Amino acid sequence: MRRIYLRGPALICALIAALLQSGGCQSTHSTDATVRAFDELVFGVSENAEGEVTAADPAIRLTRWQRPLRAHFAQPPPDPVAALGVAVLAELAAITGHDLAMAAPGSSANVALVYGDPALLVRTMRAMGARIEGYEASSAVYGFCWSTHWHAAGEIRRAVVYIADAGAMPDEKPGAIAACLRHEMGHVMGLRFHAERSYSVMAAQRSLRDYTATDRQVLRLLYDPALPANGTR
């Protein structure tokens, strides 16, 4: 008898059905791992080493982009960073099937990418309608890798991503900017929580520079039409 990792709620049932119908799952283990990761990254459900589950907040909804995502750099970054931005958007478009791209010159964007200037980040967020006062206006708040997004009724509508310049990265480790951008764009796409147990670029340490197989499966499922936006766990 085939065992399926299942916690009962209707949305998770729909998730498993979509996963199995996709043909992307070849074993019970990969099904289990993907559902656990989806639960963790999308709904904030976690487990301790003994397998005890921390329940998700019932107010948390499945949230994703429904309109095309158009990004731009708030000011031109170094060429390698600009190329990385284009590559990550193309990668996410291929994974999710959603319409993501850099905004054409002169056109509007709903995702602002800010590189190396926390003061510009504050100005950019204010221009997008955020109220930033007091301590939040300090560049010390945002560290070396940060993002936020605005959403309503299960739809992500705007976002800002901040990436420190390479010299500000811890130990200036190779791949730090790629790890930062893929991690924060994961949040922007709807992976709202950090990975604690899943092998994922969404781990808080940002130690991975590429999306893992689990990340890709979770992102693909998040944008599967079989799962209703604004649905609960």
Q: 208 Cβ partners below 8 Å, 6+ apart?
A: 179, 182, 200, 201
Q: What average pLDDT does the segment 142-169 reach?
A: 85
Q: Decide: residue 12, CB within 10 A, 0-12 exposed, 13-18 middle, 19+ buried.
A: buried
Structural domains in the chain (count) = 2
Coil, helix or strand at residue 65? strand
Asked whether residue 68 falls in the same domain as residue 178, the answer is yes
Compute the distance between CA of residue 110 and CA of residue 98 in angstroms, rounded to an integer: 14
Q: Tell me whether residue 52 is in a domain.
A: yes
Least confident of 7-21, 44-58, 63-77, 123-137: 7-21
The pLDDT of residue 231: 80
pLDDT at 136 over 50: yes
In terms of pLDDT, which residue wins out, 113 or 204?
A: 113
Point out which residues pair with 163 in neighbouring strands: 115, 145
Compute the distance between CA of residue 181 and CA of residue 161 in angstroms, rounded to an integer: 8
What is the pLDDT of the chain when averaged over all its residues?
82
Q: Tell me whether residue 203 is in a domain.
A: no
pLDDT at 140 over 60: no
Residue 48, amino acid:
N
Residue 66 · residue 190 · CB < 8 Å: no
Query: pLDDT, tens digit, for every residue of 31-66?
Result: 777 888 898 999 998 776 676 777 677 788 899 999
Residue 187 · residue 195 · CB < 8 Å: no
Distance of CA 35 to the CA centre of its chain: 16
Least confident of 12-16, 99-103, 227-231: 12-16
Q: What average pLDDT does the segment 150-179 reach?
A: 81
The pLDDT of residue 3: 34
Asked whether residue 147 falls in the same domain as residue 221, the answer is no
Q: Tell me whether residue 199 is in a domain.
A: no
Asked whether residue 92 falls in the same domain as residue 16, the answer is no
Asked whether residue 80 falls in the same domain as residue 122, the answer is yes
Q: What are phi and psi of 5, to 5 degrees?
A: -70, 120
Looking up tokens 């994922």 gives 200
Least confident of 69-78, 134-143, 146-155, 179-188: 134-143
Q: Tell me whether residue 200 is in a domain.
A: no
Length of the chain: 233
Domain that holds residue 232: 1-63+210-233
Rg from Cα positions in the chain: 18
In terms of pLDDT, which residue wins out, 173 or 205?
A: 205
The pLDDT of residue 32: 75
